[in-house]
Structure 1
Amino acid sequence: MVTAMHPLSALSLLFALADTLSGRVTDRAGSPLPTATVLVSELHRVATTGADGAFVLADLPSGQYTVIVRHVGFAPVAREVVIRGATTLGVALERAPLWLEPVTITATRAPIPTLASPLATAALSEDALRREQSVSLAHSLSRLPGIHALSTGAQIGKPVIRGLAGARVLVLADGSRLEDYSWSDEDGPSVDARLAQRVEVIRGPASVLYGSDALGGVVNVIPAELPDANGGPRLIRTGFEVSGATNNAEVGASARVEGAAGPWGWRVFGIGRAAGSLHTPAGRLDNTGFGAVNGEAAVGRRGTRGSATLRYTRYAGEFKLLEANEPPSGAAAGGPERRLSDDRIQLAADHLLGSLRLETKAQWERHSLVEISDTGTGPGGAPLEGTAFDLLLNTGTLDLLAHHVAGSAVRGTVGLSGVYQTNDTRGPIALVPDARVHAAGGFVFEQATLGRWSVLAGGRVDLRRLTADSNTALALSPQRRNYTAWSGDVGLVYRPGAALAVSGNVGRAWRAPTLFELFSNGPHLGEARYEIGRADLVPEGAANVDVSVRWQANRVEAEVAAYRNEIAQYVFITPTNQFKDTLRIYRYDQADALLTGAEVSVGVAVATPLSLRGRFDAVRGTNRTTQEPLPLIPPARVAVGAELHGTGLRWADRVRLAVEGEFVTRQTRLNPLDLPTAGYALLNVEAGLERPLWGRAIRLDVAARNLGNTAYRSFLSRYKEFALDPGRNVVLRVSLGE
Structure 2
Amino acid sequence: MKRLHLLLFIALYLFFPVSTFASEMAQFRGKVVDASTQAPLPGATIYITDLKAITITNNQGEFILKNVPAKGKFLLEVRFVGYKTYSVLVDLATQNSLTIDLSPSIIESAEVVITGSPFSSNNKTNSLSVVTVGKTKLAQSGGTNLIDAIAKIPGISQVSTGGAISKPIIRGLGYNRVLTMVDGAREESQQWGDEHGVVADQFSAARIEILKGPASLLYGSDALGGVINVIDELVPAPGVHNGTFTSTYSTNNGLTASSLMLQGNEDGFVYRGRTSYKNAFGFGYKDITVPNSGFNEMNFNGMLGLNKSWGYSHLTFSRFHTNVGLVEEGPDEQGRFMNHDGEVLSQSEAKERRLDLPFQNITHYRTALNSNIILGKGQLKTVFAFQTNIRKEFEESAQEPGLNLNLKSYTYDVKYNFPAIGQWQPAIGIQGMYQDNVNKGEEFLIPDYNSNNIGAFAYLKRNFTKGAINAGLRYDYKKVNGKDLNFDGEQIFTGFSNEFSNVSASLGFAFEIAKNMVLKGNAGSGFRAPNIAELGANGRHEGTFRYEIGNSDLKQETSLQFDLGLEYTAESVTFGLNAYANRIFNYIYPGNFNEETMPFQDEDGSSHDLPVYRYVQTNADLVGAEASVDFHLVKSLHFENSFSYTRGVNRATDQPLPFIPAASINNDIKFEPNIKGFLDSYIKVGVTNVLKQGRFDSFETQTNGYTLLDAGIGTTITTGKGKLNIWVTGQNLLNKEYYNHLSRYKPVGIYNPGRNVTFGISVPFL
Of stretches 565-574 and 289-298 in structure 1, the one that deviates more from structure 2 is 289-298
Q: Any idea what the Cα deviations from partners look like across 1:480-504, whole Å, max 9, x if unmatched?
A: 1111111110112222235211122
Cα distance in structure 1, aligned partners of 2:262 and 2:526: 41
Q: Could you say what the CA RMSD is over the residues aligned between the two structures, in angstroms?
A: 2.0
Deviates more, 1:422-431 or 1:320-329: 320-329
- The whole-number CA distance in structure 2 between the counterparts of 1:72 and 1:182 is 38
Query: Is 2:691 the counterpart of 1:665?
Result: yes
Aligned-partner SS, 2:654: coil
The match for 1:259 among 243, 246, 264 is 264
* 3-state DSSP of counterpart to 1:167: helix
CA distance, structure 2, for counterparts of residue 220 and residue 568 of structure 1: 26
**Aligned-pair CA distance for 1:580:** 3.0
Q: Mark the CA change 1:26 to 1:726 in structure 2 (over 3 Å): closer, same or farther.
A: farther
- The residue that corresponds to 1:352 in the other structure is 374
TM-score by length of 1: 0.92
Give, as a single letter, the amino acid of the residue that structure 1 aligns with 2:598: F
Report the CA distance shift for 1:255/1:97 in structure 2 as closer, same or farther (over 3 A): farther
Secondary structure at 1:646's aligned position in 2?
Answer: coil
1:41 aligns with 2:49: yes
**Alignment check: 8 A CA contact 1:34 1:49 kept:** yes
2:317 is aligned with 1:312: yes
Q: Residue 512 and residue 92 in structure 1: after superposition, are their counterparts in 2 closer, same or farther (change >3 A)?
A: same
Distance between the aligned counterparts of 1:80 and 1:485, measured in 2? Answer: 35
Instruction: Give the structure 2 partner of residue 172 of structure 1.
Output: 181
Contact 2:668 2:687 in 1 (8 A): yes
Q: Which SS does the other structure have where 1:346 is aligned?
A: strand
> 2:469 and 2:367 mapped to 1: Cα distance?
36
Name the structure 2 match of 1:553. Answer: 570
Aligned equivalent of 1:621: 648
Structure 2 partner of 1:397: 411
Return the letter of the residue paired with 2:589. Answer: F
Letter in 1 for 2:121: I
Between the aligned partners of 2:517 and 2:28, the Cα distance in structure 1 is 30
Q: Which residue of 2 aligns with 1:697?
A: 723
- Kindly state the Cα deviation for residue 567 of structure 1 after the two structures are TM-superposed: 0.6
Aligned position for 1:150:
159
Q: Distance in 2 between matches of 1:276 and 1:735?
A: 23
SS in structure 1 at match of 2:65: strand
Q: Report the counterpart of residue 210 of structure 1 in structure 2.
A: 219
In the other structure, the counterpart of 2:241 is: 236
- Report the Cα offset of residue 256 of structure 1: 0.9
Letter paired with 1:262: D
Residue 171 (structure 2) pairs with residue 162 (structure 1): yes
Cross-structure match for 2:30: 23
- State how far apart, in whole Å, the 1-side matches of 2:404 and 2:48 are: 44
Could you tell me how far apart the structure 1 residues matched to 2:506 and 2:93 are? 35
CA distance in structure 2 between the partners assigned to 1:578 and 1:654 by the alignment? 56
Q: Report the Cα distance in structure 1 between the residues aligned to 2:258 and 2:155, rounded to whole angstroms.
A: 31
- Pair 1:140 & 2:145 matched: no
- Secondary structure, in 3 states, of the residue corresponding to 2:172? coil
Equivalents in 1 of 2:81, 2:407: separation in Å? 39
How many residue pairs match? The answer is: 709
Amino acid in structure 2 at the alignment position of 1:287: N
Contact 1:228 1:265 in 2 (8 A): no
In structure 2, the residue corresponding to 1:209 is in which secondary structure? helix
Q: Find out whether 1:113 has 2:145 as its counterpart.
A: no
2: distance between equivalents of 1:512 and 1:554? Answer: 45
Residues 222-271 of structure 1, C-alpha deviations (whole Å, 9 max, x = no match): 11222341xxxx43212111211111111121111111212201011111
- Per-residue CA deviation, residues 491-550 of structure 1 (Å, 9 max, x unaligned), is 122222352111221111110011111111111232222111111001001111111111
1-structure distance, mates of 2:134, 2:100: 20
| Corresponding residue for residue 495 of structure 2 | 478
Q: Equivalent residue for 2:704?
A: 678
SS in 2 for 1:194: helix
Report the CA distance between 1:385 and its aligned residue. 8.3
Pairing 1:516–2:530 present: no
CA distance change for structure 1 residues 184 and 18 in 2, over 3 Å: closer, same or farther? Answer: closer
In structure 2, the partner of 1:193 is 202
> After alignment, is 493-502 or 635-644 more displaced?
493-502
Query: Partners in 2 of 1:656 and 1:270 — Cα distance?
Result: 29
The answer for the alignment partner of 1:67 in structure 2 is: 76
- Alignment pair present for 1:592 and 2:619: yes
What SS does structure 2 have at the residue aligned with 1:144? Answer: coil
| SS state at 2:543 partner | helix
**Match of residue 4 from structure 1:** none
| CA distance in 2: counterparts of 1:93 and 1:682, whole angstroms | 39
Q: CA deviation at 1:400?
A: 0.7
Aligned residue for 1:295, secondary structure, equals strand
Q: Which residue of 1 aligns with 2:759?
A: 732
SS across alignment from 1:109: coil
1:571-613: CA deviation from partner (whole Å, max 9, x where unpaired)? 1111142423222222111111110101101112111111111
In the alignment, the residues of structure 1 paired with residue 319 and residue 80 of structure 2 have an alpha-carbon distance, to the nearest angstrom, of 29
CA distance in 1, matches of 2:141, 2:105: 19
Q: Residue 106 of structure 2 contacts residue 571 of structure 2 at CA under 8 Å; is this kept in 1? A: no
CA distance in 2, matches of 1:239, 1:131: 16
Runs of 5+ consecutive residues of structure 1 not aligned to the other structure: 1-16, 376-383
Match of 2:176, SS state, is helix
Looking at structure 2, the residues matched to 295 and 640 of structure 1 have their Cα atoms a distance apart, in angstroms, of 37
* Residue of structure 2 equivalent to 1:640: 667
Structure 2 CA distance for aligned equivalents of residues 78 and 128 of structure 1: 22
Q: In structure 2, what residue type is equivalent to 1:45?
A: A
**Residue in 1 aligned with 2:440?**
426
Report what 2:286 is aligned to. Answer: 281
Q: Percent identity?
A: 28
Which stretch of the first structure deviates more once superposed, 333-342 or 87-96? 87-96
1: CA distance, partners of 2:544 / 2:160: 13
Aligned structure 1 segments of 4 or more residues deviating by more than 6 angstroms? none
CA distance in 2, matches of 1:475, 1:732: 49
Q: Say whether the 8 Å CA contact 1:97–1:611 is kept in structure 2.
A: no
Instruction: Provide, for residues 129-167 of structure 1, a one-character-per-residue CA deviation record: whole Å limited to 9, x for no partner.
Output: 222232322211212110011111122101110001111
Distance 2:364 2:515 in 1: 43
Q: Is the 8 A contact 1:274 1:292 kept in 2?
A: yes
- Structure-2 residue corresponding to 1:50: 58
Tell whether the 8 Å contact from 1:193 to 1:221 is kept in structure 2 after alignment: no
Q: For 1:516, what is the secondary structure of its paired residue?
A: helix
For residues 289 and 558 of structure 2, the distance between their equivalents in structure 1, rounded to whole angstroms, comes to: 44
Deviation, 1:429, is 0.8
1:97 Cα deviation from its structure 2 partner: 4.8
Quickly say closer, same or farther: Cα 1:324–1:410, change in 2 above 3 A. farther
Alignment partners' CA distance in 2, 1:610 and 1:567: 43
Sort the Cα spacing of 1:156 and 1:91 in 2 relative to 1 into closer, same or farther, 3 A. farther
Structure 1 window deviating more from structure 2 (24-33 vs 708-717): it is 24-33
Q: Which residue of 2 aligns with 1:12?
A: none
Q: Any stretches of 5+ residues in structure 2 without a counterpart? A: 1-23, 338-344, 351-355, 601-608
> Residue 579 of structure 1 is aligned with which of 595, 598, 611?
598
Please say if residues 322 and 336 of structure 1, whose CA atoms lie closer than 8 Å, have aligned partners that are also in contact. yes
2:552 corresponds in structure 1 to 535
Q: CA deviation at 1:676?
A: 2.1
Deviations 1:453-485 (A, max 9, x none): 522110100111111221114543432111111
Instruction: Please state how far the C-alpha of 1:325 moved relative to its aligned partner.
Output: 4.5
